[in-house]
Amino acid sequence: MRPTSWLLTAIAVATLAAMAWGSVERFPPPELPADHPLPQPTTPAPRGGDLALLDVAVLLATLALASVFAVVLRNRKLMLATMLFSLAYFGFYRRGCVCPIGAIGNVSWALAGGYVLPAVVLVFFLAPLATALITGRTFCASVCPLGAMQDVVALKPVKVPFWLEQILGLMAYLYLALAVLLAWTGSGFAICQYDPFVSFFRLSGAWNMLAIGVALLAIGVFFARPYCRLFCPYGVLLRLLSRVSWKRVRITPAECIRCRLCEDACPYGAIRPPTDTRPTDRRRGKLILACLLALAPVLTAAGALGARRLSGVLWQANPTVRLAQRVAAERAGEFSDTTKASEAFYRSSGNFEALMAQARQKQVDLADGATWLGAFMGLVIALKLIGLHTRRRRQDFEADPAACLACGRCYNYCPVHRAHRTGDFATLEKLKAATSKT
């Protein structure tokens, strides 16, 4: 990386760290009576002062090391060591909090005016994204504890058809849109609530999430990193930014000899083969592309209308709507007892009309948000179809910058890489001659 780029990155990081330091005690806890009952926390307590800065420093350091090991030194062993450290620190020591993936909900709620976003959370959200613009998905490779949990069990990965993974990968876009919508409307933090691995980090949790985590790890033995590739909402953002990254993982440091060993080594199906040079029917390809471009607004509109019709399903996710429905049912005599939420409502203002007005506004917000969600998914599907029918010219085997998790496995399998490491160019020349004959 150029010195000026490092300087600008360091200045930005220092600014964010200073914000984190200054924001720790901006909102001191309220003074309560000595006999006031306090709920017991169910998540790790937030850290402040030097400990908050330590978390930020460790994140930035591991991101920097992962990028250097992956792109500059091209050393899989050092990347693996960084991954295990990140799993121990961010996973089991920090117990999965703060998490860049879960920070999506915090940022969405803050943008909606729900609360003031802590600067530490902002740093955790932005730092991996900034890194993706420079060196690709090195956060996924060596820093993310969720990815590390899955990486260590990827023992016998098998390949799945490219088209099938593209279809299944739409779930991540839907998850991202739903998480943003629910957080924006104050309906909840879906990503944190349904984190499949946080129960392992905290050694506690709901049995259903533990079961999902175990199932994903079991699947991960054969389908490497299923959560990362099919569900991770933060991965959607990293994929988009990695497409335009300045530096990224290159399979070989020199000319590719097309031995296909890297393609066999990649457990994520991220290696793209050279483009077929045989003549193709360009007229037919242009016609298909034109039809897909015309179909894009239709899919977008259909997604918007369909999601708006189903927006009522999302109403139950909002606590205000649920409370209003419960209070209305209790007032109508449908229930003889009260819930904790309704009891708290009666003990507070008890203004039923105001509660119903708030619930109706939340329903409108969720309906509008569902419309945008549907339009977004319709557009994503259209762009996926266009991408599948768009031909990209490749002379050699290349890692798809969006799909590549920068794990570095292909390095040790690439004979060109090994020759440059060991100086054994004689073996490389023999292999080059053998591959040229085939």
pLDDT 10s per residue in the chain (438 long)?
Answer: 444 444 344 444 444 444 444 444 444 444 545 554 555 554 555 566 678 899 999 999 999 999 999 999 999 999 999 999 999 999 999 998 889 999 999 999 999 987 889 999 999 999 999 999 999 999 999 999 999 999 999 999 998 898 899 899 999 999 999 999 999 999 999 999 999 999 899 888 888 899 999 999 999 999 999 999 999 999 999 999 999 999 888 899 888 988 889 998 999 999 999 887 666 667 887 888 899 999 999 999 999 999 999 999 999 999 999 999 999 999 998 988 899 989 989 888 778 999 999 999 999 999 999 999 999 999 999 999 998 887 778 888 999 999 999 999 999 899 999 888 888 788 777 777 777 766
Three-class SS of residue 217?
Answer: helix
Beta bridge mates, 240: none
pLDDT of residue 19: 43
Look at residues 152, 150, 107 and name the one whose alpha carbon lies nearest to residue 127. 107
Residue 359: closest CA among 317, 331, 312, 325: 325
3-state helix, strand, coil in the chain (%, to 5): 65, 0, 35
CA 169, 170, 174, 176 dihedral sign is positive
- State the CB neighbour count (10 A cutoff) for residue 72: 11
pLDDT recorded at residue 426 = 80
Looking at 194-318, list the stretches that DSSP marks H as alpha helix, in order from N- to C-terminal side. 198-202, 207-220, 226-230, 233-242, 261-265, 282-309, 312-315
Instruction: Tell me the H-state helices in 23-153.
Output: 50-67, 76-86, 103-111, 119-135, 138-142, 145-151
Phi, psi values for residue 399, rounded to 5°: -85, 125
Question: Given the structure tokens 């879960």, which residue do they identify?
Answer: 102
- Helices 352-388, 319-331: crossing angle, 10 deg rounding: 140
Token code pair at residue 293: 């471009």
**0.75 surpassed by pTM:** yes
Residue with tokens 């299944």: 168
What was the pLDDT predicted at 70? 95
CA–CA gap between residue 361 and residue 356 (Å, rounded): 9
Task: Give the integer Cα–Cα distance in Å for 296 and 386.
Answer: 9
